[in-house]
Structure 1
Amino acid sequence: MRIKKIEVEGFKSYSQREVVDYLDAEFNAITGLNGSGKSNILDSICFLLGITNLAQVRVHSFNELVYKQGQAGISRATVTITFDNDVPPDKQPAGYSKYKEIVVRRQIIINGKNTYQINGISATNQRVSDMFRQVGINVNNPHFLIMQGRITKVLNMKPMEILSMVEEAAGVRMYECKKQSALRTIEKKECRFIEISRLIDKEINPKVERLKTERANYLEYKEIERTLEVLGRKMVAYDYYNSKLQIKDSEKRAAEFEQEADKIGDDIAELSNQIEAEQLNLKALGEAKNMGPEMTKLENELKERQDEQAKADSEKDEKESNLSELRKAVDRKQKSLESDKNELTTKRRQLEQDESEIGDEEHRGKSAEEALVRARQKLEALAKGMTTDDEGNAVTLEAQLTATRTQLSEHQTNVKKAEMRLGQLNKTLSKKRNDLQQISRRSGTQHDNKQKLEAEIAQLEQRLRVLNYEPELENRLEQERTQLANERTKCAQELDRFEARNYKLRFDYTTPYNGFDRSKVKGVVAKLFKMCEAKYATALEVVAGGRLFNIVIDQVKTGEALLRAGLPRRVTMIPLDKTSATVLDQRQIGQAKRMVGEDSVFFPKELINYEREIELAILSIFGNCLICVDMDQAKQLTFDKNIHCRTVTLSGEDFKPSGVLTGGFRRPDASILLALNEISGQYERIREIDHRIGATEMELARLKPLRQQYDQLNGQLIVQQKRLNAINEELKNTPAEVMRVEIARLEDEVAEANAIIEKSQPEIDNLTKRVKELEGRKTNEGAFRENEKRTAQNELANAQKELEQLKGTFSKIKESLAGLREEIGALENSIEEDEHEIEQMNARIDEMRREIGIYNEFVMGIKDRVKQAQQELEKYNKELRSQEKQIRTKTTEIEELKKRARQLEAKLESKRRDGDEATKNATEFAKRMQQLEKTHGWIAEEKQRFGVDGSAYDFRDYSYEIGKRELDERKARTKELLRTVNPKAMDSLGTAENELNELLNKRQQLEKDKKQLYDAIEQLDEKKRTELLTAHKKITADFSSIYSTLLPGASAELVPPSGAQNCLAGLEVRVAFNGKNKDSLAELSGGQRSLVALSLILAMLKFKPAPFYILDEIDAALDISHTENIGKMIKNHFSESQFIVVSLKQGFFDNANVVYRVNFRDGRSVVTRTENRHT
């Protein structure tokens, strides 16, 4: 796509329309004097291509593009360029393949709008820019445009700017712009996505939920309105129908009452005749009665005997009272005795404790005292020429020796007797044992059986002990299981009654399939948590509303299974795997507590206890609300801009941010949570009972096999024991058994004789030693006395010293222990006396009991005589009572007849009044029917259906009370709904749901668009990278070739910056002369640097030629030879592109095919065309 014609009018120095026509398809040059306006032609091309950087066209505003900025009467600038589109399809812009030419026109008006036209059709800036970018022309990053100073600018470019030139040459720059635009679009879409999500979550969803609730309330309200009308009509119809029935009934009863009254009148006349006849009979019986003197005699005799019995009974009672008092005295004495014994036990324990603590001190003191007495006695005896024995008595040595010899002789005699008796016993015992062996041989079988049975019994008892089974334990467990089952039945019945009154708390379902895990169904929400305090019940019920009776399940699949199996009633389920919860954040809760106080506002979750597994369900119900103490606080928090959430007061007022207030006072007895709180103990008790029953049944199951083994072993043991007892009975009176008893007695006597010998022998040895010792003392009596005296004096001194040491504590210890011993002795004496006294009292009790027994026989005799007199009197009285009975019977019969007469008269009066009342009722009910027909006109049409089975007026199970209750319940519900009902909820909900669906679709589309954009960016980024690497390789090769051609011996290349892996991080120019690299371009001359820049530009032009190129005095810094070389190179090597060159040097534009010369005449620029003829 090349330029064929340029038309400018009112643009810069071109005040009048000027046409640059017939541009050459290859090389065009524009020349002219400075200031003639030759560069303005290039500016007009850039203006039309949509340049945004006005500095490149050397102006500061669009107004400066208009000739003399509109001051010469020209107010608009217009540029029109005709492009040749007769090129291969791949070089044509998309959508314009059918056009041979494309005419683009751009016009700007002073302080007005900027317009584009393509082939005469208005177009946007973006559309024109996209069209040019498709053919590789981007005027805002133009590699095709080399203006004045571009060479210098290229030399000063940074790595990323050079990379930008490569991108433009590779044709990926347009993609980068599109990418940035797409990222901005994604950013906008993300903002929109966030806004839509916020609208859905914070506004639309809550609004839809609220409107659903309001719609449900509205539908319920309308339904109740219709029901009220039906119930009202039914009550009126029942009133009319009942009145009609009452009229019939009243008329019927009036007739019946009249008939009954006539019959009663006849009965009264008949009773009067009977009363007269009975009164005559009674008079005859009274005359026949005669009492006489005999009865007086019998009564006097009975009285005497009764007095005698009373006296005997009194004496008997006195004796029994004395016996009772004596027994009470024994009881009191027995209690006193027990008290003394307890006190004695306590005192003895105290004495034992004291003796263990201070007994050693007492013993030391007593030992010292006794030693002192013995020493003094011994000194006194020695002073008398005597000594002391073991008891401390003064005796002579001779007396001591004699006494000791006597004791020794007694012990020796006892031993000899025992040995003689032992010899006799052993002989007898040996004989008895021989006899027993002979007898045992004859009765050995029974003994063998006995030993065998004893061994078997021992083995069975050992096996029972090892079995470790207790029959009593199993019986206790059975009783406990029965008691627990009965208690569970009572609890379950109470719960059934409670759940029957509150049927929504019960959730019964059929097991969907075998193996279904019932723990997947968590239960009714109301039963899954417990309140911390009862005062929060009303608020929590208002917060939860109908969701209090929702069913919590683990996942959606469980709900589907339950629905397929069928449910007895309609319920709402909360699957934990699909439930989401809107929860107030901690910032809102904290702000609320700071506003009204910690104790005045509560997050519902904090007021209940529940299992963690159902937390999501709990939060979905209680998570987006606050509970306040009163209405003022609730209102303040609801409408605070930082909190702005639903609040509920403890008394049940419900504040919503939408401005709706509902609720008010609720009866405490109507609270389901309070009722659940009271009955919850039954649920826990049932769980506890089930656990205990399970444990009991497990224990019983464990004991069952043990019981079977125990029964078997115990049965065997009982049989064997019976057999053993039988054998023992047989053996008990046998000669062998008698012999064994005798042998046992003899063996006891042998043991006794041996014991005497063993006990006496040490005494004999000691006494023998003592005799020898005394005989030795007697031989040297004088020395013995001196030695005894010294010993006694030493013992006396030691005892006195010991007593002196214990002087302070011994007396106190002695007194303390002596006092305690005296108390114990006194208690022992008292106990002994009490026991003796109790024994005497018991003897007296036995004596009194014998006396009372004897006296009882005497009293019984008197009672017999009294009884005999009573029988005689009773016999006489019986005859008298018979007569009196007949009189009383007649009197009673007469009274009964009179009573019946009075009752019949009263009944007659009652029947007459009932008849009048029935007639009156019939009249009133007739008036009531007339009034109802007058008030309710529909009765005339509908009354034929009143009371018809199956109709709307079926009264089979109906009563006025039932109808009134139903009507009152619905009126109360209507009154309650009126506070919250929203008639517009139906329409509003549809609108809100449509809005929600629209926003959800938009959000889904935004997600889809964003993903598509990211995918496209990712793919194009990779394609861009590939294209850039290819372009860098080709442009570097061309750059080096062109620079070597323009400056022989030199080379140049584009390389990535130091440390970079590839060209994507930027590109730098590296120049070498004769193979030696230069550190920077600053080492080159101005001409060399210009050639570097020009070579780079030409290399880029050669990589991907644009349709046309514009060069503006790029040869300004070059000498003539280089200028000519550049011209020739363009002509010879860039024939595929169109060049439009501005130059002042003839060596350059002489190589052009067409030369346009610009002159400035009469204040405006004029263009003339010249063609160069080249041979």
Structure 2
Amino acid sequence: MHIREISLEGFKSYATRTVVSGFDPFFNAITGLNGSGKSNILDSICFVLGITNLQQVRAANLQELVYKQGQAGITKATVSVVFDNSDRSRSPIGYEGCPEITVTRQIVVGGRNKYLINGHLAQPSRVQNLFHSVQLNVNNPHFLIMQGRITKESALKTLEKKQAKLDEMDKLLDQEILPSLGKLRKEMTQYMQWANGNTELDRLKRFCIAYEFVQAEKARDSTFNGVVQIKMKIDELDDKTEIIRKDIEMMDNNISKLIADREAKLGGQVGKLSQNVDELSRTLVKESSILANHEESLKSEQNASNKISKNIEDLRRSIGEKDCAIQKVEDEASNLKNRVEDLSKKLDDNEREHQGVLAGKSNLNEEKCLEDQLRDAKVAVGNYESELKQLKTKMIHSEKELKVKRAQLTSKRDEAAADRSIESEAVQKLREEIRVLSGQVSNVQFNFRDPVPNFDRSKVKGVIAKLITVKDMSTMTALEVAAGGKLFNVVVDNENTGSSCFRMVTLRRVGEYNAELALLLVGYDEEVKVTSLKDEHFKAESELELIHSKLKERDVQINQHSKEQQNFSSS
């Protein structure tokens, strides 16, 4: 593939359309005066090939490639390069059937840029793939040799440098260009296969649509023929129906004639029999209605008898209740009679006492008169007054003692409150110590829920550490280090109990204590003394119980003081 001609319009110094033709397939040279546009022809070729480094075409941006940068009324630059593609072995992939390929690039002032291949719009990547498939890469640094580059290349003094350059070019060709070209050829082949597959798929789709259309027409025709046949059958059935209807009318007429003849022959016996049948049916209806009425009346009488029996039972109950009420009234009447008799006796006694008072005695049984009784009463009043004065003095003294004891009680309450606060602080500290100690020995705590109702908890023996009793306390550390975590295993009576209790177990472990224990076992001087921790735990619990007993005694004393105060206040 080689250049056949170049067409320039609005590109750099070419304001009007200019066609440059007559290119040789192997070697070409462009000659002319300075400023005649020789370099611009080469720049136009690089422009169509998609050069990205615009400094090699002596421009800062694409707008500078337009004639006088668009200030002379020309606002676009168009360059078309016609390539001869007669050699099929060197043609680009996918263009083997084209005798020539025209690549056009056009830019417009303002940033618009487009490519055309054989008059059709194309993406820049497609144009680059076209040129890369024939080993044309305008962005290769060795593709274009500018002025002065030849002198620089000829200035290489030694053959080794030239050979190194050639090796570098061969390496670049072998490692980058040829693999990329093979990959592109493979991708192009796959693309062509895909395009052919899509074309074949479209053809098959059209064929399927045509086949479905033909089948639909056949179905329509067959359906139309079926409809015509059905209409014909319907017409035939209508004719047969008309014939059958006429036959039925004839048969009805014959039947009516036969009935008339039969009645004439029988002489009206059938009529009489039918009348008798009608009378019997009417009597049957009357009797059935009478029977139904009797059944309804029987049911109503049964309901009435049930109601009457219920009323009789209610009356019996009411009679029993009235009998009880009469008995109560009779008892009350007898009580009233007895009371009247008692009152009459009291009335007689009161009358006799009244007679005795009139005679000068306060009572019939007394021998003293009223004056003696009055004197005795005055003496008793004096005694009572002296006793009242003594009680008043005692009450004043008791009030003074009550005030003193109240003051003592308030002071004791304050002391008790202070002691209680101190004791509550001590209790809190002891609880904290108990919590710490229980956290340190929590590895041996083992709790579980019953896996089944009425589970025998004696089957679970407990943690091994609780089941072992060490006689020599000095060997406890060695035993714990040797046994390790196996000391916290749980002992059960058999395997079934262990499997049933496995999901119900709740073990509480303290990670911080385990870390401290590991550090102590690795490098600390102090030994781990589980027994001492247990002793401290028991001591703390005993002290806590002692404090609780003291608090209870103090509460009892305070309650006693409060009761004494209430007694004094009530007295």
Q: Pick the TM interval, shorter chain.
A: 0.3 to 0.5
Structure with greater contact order relative to length (CA < 8 Å, sep ≥ 6)? 1
The TM-score normalised by the length of structure 1 is: 0.17
The TM-score normalised by the length of structure 2 is: 0.33
